[in-house]
């Protein structure tokens, strides 16, 4: 498939197969559609009290331009972090736009009926988001959080650049992942790009959309003439239109190539027939002005690519901002495009979703697209609101257009429903899409008589919610055809992610499903928790539970099973001289089997009546010559069907004739050879004299003791369990044994059998049986199975030796040993593939002896006396297997029944609040009365008004409190970093939500605060507080003899540079004054400022820290090495700039400019000072202190310490009190001397040796000349 050429014919259609969204007043698209059709305006008007409580300043509320209206979302502060595998700490750092977009992507995929982990195609993603107000307003007011989390982590969780890549990572999308940014047209441009990606075969499915969440959320806005509405209403195309309203929302559509969507049975909501995007260019009034030429070009191009006439487009979802200029330009452009193709008037409706939900910025285009898709799909045109009098500059009367003001049916004559959708952006990026109603879906296959419904969730509570959602959906479908429920079952199986908490039910029809869900019937609505990787083993029973009519319901209702039976019966007929189907499926009295659950007591007690034909079939099936081939045929067909469905065994064991089924499935025997052997073996046994078999409730040794050794004529036919054996022999010998054992108090049971299988009575058939192997090819097993003869795993030598099979004919069946071996594998799930559940019962009785927890053994075919429908019985087993964690191959499960994916309720997210409030006022120490808010660092402010931590997650270890001061400090640091309450000493860093990026911050903090010398590897090796405490002690012990403590230096000592300073000094010599090494902080001071007290606080900080008074120059001696020079304490210059006279908007802009300018001013390392301060006055109650530090004398933690000390000093100095800070025991220069003294001699040699080894083989260093570089100095 190639990219379409507009000149070469219409575009291949792009199908919209799924969609989701959250919009003002609507948590889902169903609610949105009801609102649209009902003419609901979802703009909210706030009271003055609400806004004041939300923090809006009184001055702003009094501003006549302030509009107390907005189009908010519900619960933007909430998110299901666990569902997407985010820690609580990550979730609260994440922009709500990222969160909301993730949820919408998931819901859109579920709406389409696709699980990204099981669908084999490549899935792409194109989308964009609005500005991150959460980062600007909330997070950046907490510099400690930024420092603790790290700028990279904060950027990943907030930056628009990571919107799509984060979603692709979390949803496992492998196609193109592109973030699109074009302002108001972002999400419709993303849709155009997504369509292009599909046509270029870059992906097979693609998501497109956008999101905007305004932060602060739920507030008003300042009206802007001609742009932002002064009354909170958007009146698109009306004479009173004066602007739009700000709104928040998100929307995502799922797209596929139309042919693929039809072939895959997708629900197609609409078809994109054409699309185009362009830019206005520079030929217009201004950058922000719309351009009719640009718009009409985009619209005309989309129509050309679609290959549809303009008169066939009977609705346009406009950009419709309700601005006096924008509305006129938009209708002018549309009119010119349509007028070039038709002279019809008033046939095309216009609408604008912005009149309902406001302008959603980056999500505006997708909102309009989704509205148009819903209209096209439902055949209804919703009203556009607030249109009373047409804009006098728009001539609707002589145009093709009218503004639709009422909800009306949309049934154009002679054309399919077609719509245009426009999105235009400030700056000139235009997009237009042509939609068409979907083609009629192909009919689904008739529904089978029984269906399996499955549900899953990450938690028990979410599973209950999902059950309620499905029940509510099914109640709404009372009038739907039966095929609808089959499509629902199909979608739940192929189109949903399988989570650990699971639920299933087998149902007949819609009413049955509703009744079971309403009652939560525990017999039919089964619930379980999935294992990670259950190991399936097949058990194949022998004779004893076969019956005429076994699997009749499967033969009737399952085409795949029927085909296998037909094939096998046809192969067996020449060998048996009879069609086994006539015996297996002979009709009984009453015709079809009763589908009710339960036991047929009349038949169990032998009082039931049979029709003559059924009775005759039962008698014939008791003959070994027919019963063994019949059991093999049914079990092989049933096992093959399970294999078709992806239920594949990792092990098998058969009882007696059942081992032949295992051998055939394992590849030891071909089907023809297996049938030949089974039929010949059965014939030979049938020709032998009869015998009897007796089940005895004693183990192998106990039965021998009880019998005093087996009497003549008796053989040990089988060891079925630790306390269950089977004796076989002549009728006389078995009767005598039965009498003796019964007299001894043992309850024995005769088996209904014609012969004494697996006894010495089989010996006469052995030679003739071996002759059957002539021409038979035996192969080593491909699937492991257990031997009846040995009770252990079959070997290749045994499986390919006819003598083994001869021994199998006459020897003891050691089923108990085989089952014991199966239970050795943890998580083993046994599946009995054949009639009844005798082997399952025996296996479960033995599971406790093997130490198995919650053993599972499941039958697949009902007992003769059960009245359950065969298909329902098998589906229930498949569902129970799914509950254990096995995932069947659901597409193969439905392979012979064409089905459709249908929209169903999406996952019930369990959202919790994750929100960091913006800091407004730093904490004031209660003991100090002062007239100004001190510049308290983040950590101090948080101590007074802590940011909420999250509860300790459920871990595999119980909570254990710290035992000593080191562990207490470690759990405190872990809790602060991860924002978790009550960290235990055995709680793992990564289990609590840490990652490698956070681990680097943890290492830095531990090394700085605790004097540790840990590495990133230390955190991986010792991830708990208890382990870290041991590691810290070990490190301190190792270094005690080498490093020693830092001590005060002697007066007059020459002060070299630390190793870190030496590197920075060298870089500064290469490029003097490089501002890249400037560290800055801006601290907002609120309240009246005591400037002398603030200046004195700065002076005291500089006096306390010698590093802040240090300069760097070459020594005066011949060596010329750089040294430190520490100046005596002196006042730090504090220039002030008064911005109060500027307008408010200009004031903030100028403050930002000055701050940026200050950061870029170079430092002179030789002259100093290397700390600068400046004070910006915004008004009488607001000042900004700008602090800039060179990296030579500090780092990020130093800035924090600087602000922390100012916060402590200022209130004291303002109150006339002395400094509350204790003197410093050592200075940075003391550390430098300690570092230089410690890292020398043997220690230095060790360090150098390590790095020489680590860097061995590195590329050679380029030479100074002749290497192609210019001679001028470079950094």
Which residues are annotated as catalytic? 184, 319, 359, 656
Task: Report which of 509, 505, 512, 489 is spatially closest to residue 902, judged by C-alpha positions.
Answer: 489
Task: Report which of 628, 630, 611 is spatially closest to residue 551, judged by C-alpha positions.
Answer: 630
- Which residue bears the tokens 């430098």? 1232
> How far apart are the C-alpha atoms of 110 and 904, rounded to whole Å?
8
- Which residue bears the tokens 């970093």? 977
Contact partners, residue 1157, CB within 8 Å, separation at least 6 = none
Across 536-554, b (16+ Cβ under 10 Å) vs e yields bbbbbbbbbbbbbbbbbbb
Mapping DSSP to helix (H, G, I), strand (E, B) and coil, where does residue 224 land?
Answer: strand
- How many CA atoms within 13 Å lie on the side-chain side of 998? 22
Q: Which two structure tokens, joined as six digits, stand for 494?
A: 């192929």
972 contacts 998 by C-beta, under 8 angstroms: no
Residue 778 DSSP code: -
Contact partners, residue 961, CB within 8 Å, separation at least 6 = 984, 985
902 contacts 487 by C-beta, under 8 angstroms: yes
> How far apart are the C-alpha atoms of 354 and 365, rounded to whole Å?
10
> How far apart are the C-alpha atoms of 1069 and 755, rounded to whole Å?
102
Q: Which two structure tokens, joined as six digits, stand for 299?
A: 């619209």
Tell me how far apart the 2 most distant CA atoms of the chain are, in Å: 122
- How many CA atoms within 13 Å lie on the side-chain side of 324? 9
**CA R_g for the chain:** 40
1112 to 559, 889, 1108, 1121, 1163: CA distances (angstroms):
88, 72, 12, 10, 11
Q: What is the dihedral of CA 1206, 1212, 1216, 1222, to 10 degrees?
A: -90
Mapping DSSP to helix (H, G, I), strand (E, B) and coil, where does residue 1018 land?
Answer: helix
Antiparallel, parallel or unpaired: β 408-409 and 270-279? unpaired
In DSSP terms, which residues pair with 1124 in a beta bridge? 1112
Q: State residue 993 phi and psi, 5-degree precision.
A: 110, 5
- Which residue bears the tokens 């301060």? 1173
> How far apart are the C-alpha atoms of 937 and 1204, rounded to whole Å?
5
Q: Is the previous residue joined to 995 through a cis bond, with omega within 30 degrees of 0?
A: no
587 contacts 645 by C-beta, under 8 angstroms: no
Antiparallel, parallel or unpaired: β 535-540 and 651-654? parallel
Q: State residue 1079 phi and psi, 5-degree precision.
A: -110, 135
> How far apart are the C-alpha atoms of 91 and 100, rounded to whole Å?
11
Antiparallel, parallel or unpaired: β 692-696 and 724-729? antiparallel
Mapping DSSP to helix (H, G, I), strand (E, B) and coil, where does residue 18 land?
Answer: strand
887 contacts 493 by C-beta, under 8 angstroms: no
Mapping DSSP to helix (H, G, I), strand (E, B) and coil, where does residue 799 land?
Answer: helix
Mapping DSSP to helix (H, G, I), strand (E, B) and coil, where does residue 845 land?
Answer: helix
- Which residue bears the tokens 């469905």? 645
1244 contacts 1122 by C-beta, under 8 angstroms: no
Q: State residue 86 phi and psi, 5-degree precision.
A: -100, 140
């Amino acid at each position: 498939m190639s990219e379409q050429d507009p000149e070469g014919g219409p575009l291949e259609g792009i199908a919209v197969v799924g969609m989701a969204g959250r919009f003002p007043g609507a948590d889902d698209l169903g609610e949105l559609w009801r609102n649209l059709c009902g003419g609901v305006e979802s703009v909210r008007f706030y009271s003055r009290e609400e806004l004041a409580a939300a923090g809006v300043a009184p001055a702003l509320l009094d501003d006549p331009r302030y509009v107390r209206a907005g189009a908010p979302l519900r619960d933007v502060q909430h998110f299901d972090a666990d569902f997407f595998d985010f820690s609580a700490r990550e979730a609260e750092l994440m922009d709500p736009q990222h969160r909301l977009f993730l949820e919408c992507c998931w819901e859109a995929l579920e709406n389409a009926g696709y699980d990204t982990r099981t669908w084999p195609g490549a899935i792409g993603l194109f989308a964009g988001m609005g500005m991150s107000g959460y980062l600007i307003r909330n997070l950046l007011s907490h510099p400690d959080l930024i420092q603790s989390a790290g700028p990279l982590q904060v950027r990943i969780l907030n930056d628009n650049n990571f919107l799509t890549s984060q979603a692709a990572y979390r949803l496992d999308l492998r196609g193109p992942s592109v973030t699109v940014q074009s302002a108001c047209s972002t999400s419709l441009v993303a849709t155009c790009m997504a369509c292009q990606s599909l046509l270029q075969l870059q992906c097979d499915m693609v998501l497109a959309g956008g999101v905007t969440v305004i932060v602060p959320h739920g507030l008003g806005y300042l009206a802007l003439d001609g742009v932002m509405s002064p009354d909170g209403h958007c009146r698109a195309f009306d004479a009173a239109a004066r602007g739009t309203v700000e709104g928040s929302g998100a929307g995502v559509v799922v797209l596929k190539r139309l042919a693929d969507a039809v072939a895959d049975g997708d629900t197609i909501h609409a078809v994109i027939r054409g699309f185009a995007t362009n830019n206005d260019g520079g030929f217009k009034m201004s950058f922000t002005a719309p351009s009719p030429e640009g718009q009409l070009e985009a619209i005309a191009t989309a129509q050309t690519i679609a290959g549809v006439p303009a008169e066939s487009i009977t609705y346009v979802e406009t950009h419709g901002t309700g601005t006096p200029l924008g509305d006129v330009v938009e209708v002018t452009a549309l009119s010119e495009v349509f007028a070039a193709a038709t002279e019809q008037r008033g046939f095309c409706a216009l609408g604008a979703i912005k009149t309902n939900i406001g302008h959603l910025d980056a999500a505006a285009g997708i909102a309009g697209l989704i509205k148009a898709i819903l209209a096209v799909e439902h055949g209804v045109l919703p009203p556009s609101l607030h249109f009373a009098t047409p804009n006098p500059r728009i001539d609707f009367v002589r145009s093709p257009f009218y503004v639709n003001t009422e909800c009306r049916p949309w049934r154009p004559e002679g054309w399919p429903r077609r719509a245009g959708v426009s999105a235009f952006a400030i700056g000139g990026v235009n997009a237009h899409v042509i939609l068409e109603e979907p083609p009629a879906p192909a009919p689904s296959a008739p529904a089978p008589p029984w269906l399996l419904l499955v549900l899953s969730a990450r938690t028990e509570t979410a599973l209950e919610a999902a059950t309620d959602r499905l029940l509510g959906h099914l109640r709404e479908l009372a009038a739907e055809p039966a095929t609808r429920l089959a499509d629902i079952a199909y979608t739940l199986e192929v189109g949903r992610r399988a989570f650990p908490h699971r639920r299933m039910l087998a149902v007949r029809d819609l009413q049955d499903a509703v009744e079971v869900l309403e009652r939560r019937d525990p017999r039919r609505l089964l619930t379980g928790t999935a294992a990670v990787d259950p190991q399936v083993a097949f058990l194949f029973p022998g004779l004893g539970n076969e019956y005429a009519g076994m699997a009749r319901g499967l033969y009737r209702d399952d085409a795949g099973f029927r085909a296998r039976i037909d094939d096998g019966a046809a192969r067996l007929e020449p060998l048996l001289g009879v069609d086994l189907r006539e015996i297996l499926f002979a009709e009984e009295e009453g015709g079809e089997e009763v589908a009710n659950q339960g036991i047929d007591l009349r038949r169990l007690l032998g009082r039931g009546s049979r029709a003559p034909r059924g009775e005759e079939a039962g008698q014939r099936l008791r003959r070994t010559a027919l019963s063994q081939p019949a059991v093999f045929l049914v079990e092989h067909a049933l096992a093959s069907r399970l294999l078709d469905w992806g239920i594949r065994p990792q092990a098998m064991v058969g009882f007696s004739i059942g081992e032949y089924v295992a051998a055939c499935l394992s590849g030891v025997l071909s089907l023809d050879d297996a049938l030949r052997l089974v039929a010949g073996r059965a014939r030979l046994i049938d020709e032998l004299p009869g015998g009897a078999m007796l089940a005895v409730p004693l183990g192998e040794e106990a039965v021998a003791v009880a019998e005093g050794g087996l009497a003549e004529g008796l053989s040990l036919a089988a060891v079925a369990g630790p306390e269950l054996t089977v004796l076989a022999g002549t009728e006389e010998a078995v009767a005598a044994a039965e009498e003796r054992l019964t007299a001894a108090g043992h309850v024995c049971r005769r088996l209904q059998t014609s012969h004494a299988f697996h006894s010495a009575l089989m010996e006469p058939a052995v030679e003739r049986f071996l002759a059957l192997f002539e021409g038979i090819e035996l192969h080593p097993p491909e699937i492991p199975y257990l031997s009846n003869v040995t009770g252990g795993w079959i070997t290749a030598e045994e499986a390919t030796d006819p003598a083994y099979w001869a021994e199998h004919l006459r020897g003891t069946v050691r089923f108990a040993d085989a089952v014991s071996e199966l239970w050795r594998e943890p998580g083993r799930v046994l599946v009995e593939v054949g009639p009844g559940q005798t082997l399952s019962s025996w296996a479960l009785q033995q599971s406790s002896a093997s130490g198995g927890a919650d053993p599972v053994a499941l039958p697949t075919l009902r007992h003769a006396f059960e009245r359950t429908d065969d298909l329902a019985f098998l589906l229930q087993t498949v569902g129970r297997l799914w509950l254990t964690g096995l995932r069947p191959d659901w597409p193969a499960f439905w392979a012979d029944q064409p089905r459709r994916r249908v929209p169903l309720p999406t996952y019930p997210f369990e959202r919790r609040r994750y929100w960091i409030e913006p800091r407004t006022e730093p904490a004031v120490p209660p003991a100090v009365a002062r007239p100004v808010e001190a510049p308290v660092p983040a950590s101090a402010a948080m101590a007074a008004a802590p940011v909420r931590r999250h509860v300790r997650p459920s871990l595999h270890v119980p909570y254990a409190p710290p035992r000593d001061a080191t562990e207490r400090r470690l759990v405190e640091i872990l809790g602060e970093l991860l924002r978790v309450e009550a960290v235990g000493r055995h709680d793992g860093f990564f289990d609590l939500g840490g990652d490698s990026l956070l681990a680097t911050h943890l290492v830095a903090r531990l090394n700085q605060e605790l004097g540790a010398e840990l590495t990133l590897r230390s955190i991986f090796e010792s991830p708990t507080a208890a382990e870290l405490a041991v590691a810290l002690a070990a490190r301190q012990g190792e270094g005690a003899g080498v490093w020693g403590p830092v001590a005060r230096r002697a007066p007059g000592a020459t002060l070299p540079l630390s190793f870190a300073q030496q590197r920075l000094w060298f870089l500064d010599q290469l490029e003097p004054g490089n501002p890249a090494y400037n560290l800055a902080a801006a601290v907002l001071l609120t309240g009246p400022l005591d400037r002398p007290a603030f200046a004195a606080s700065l002076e005291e900080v500089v006096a306390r820290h010698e590093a802040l008074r240090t300069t760097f120059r070459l020594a005066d001696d011949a060596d010329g090495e750089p040294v430190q020079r520490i100046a005596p304490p002196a006042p730090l210059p504090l220039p002030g700039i008064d911005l109060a006279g500027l307008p408010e908007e200009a004031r903030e802009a100028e403050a930002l400019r000055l701050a940026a300018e200050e950061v870029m001013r170079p430092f002179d390392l030789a002259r100093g000072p290397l700390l600068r301060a400046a004070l910006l006055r915004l008004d009488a109650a607001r000042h900004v202190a700008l602090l800039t530090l060179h990296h030579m004398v500090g780092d990020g933690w130093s800035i924090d310490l600087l602000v922390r000390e100012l916060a402590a000093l200022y209130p004291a100095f303002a109150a006339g009190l002395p400094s509350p800070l204790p003197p410093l025991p050592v200075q940075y220069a003391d550390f430098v001397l300690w570092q230089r003294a410690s890292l020398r001699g043997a220690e230095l040699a060790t360090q150098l040796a390590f790095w020489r080894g680590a860097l061995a083989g590195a590329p050679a260093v380029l030479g100074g000349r002749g290497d192609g570089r210019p001679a001028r100095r470079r950094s």
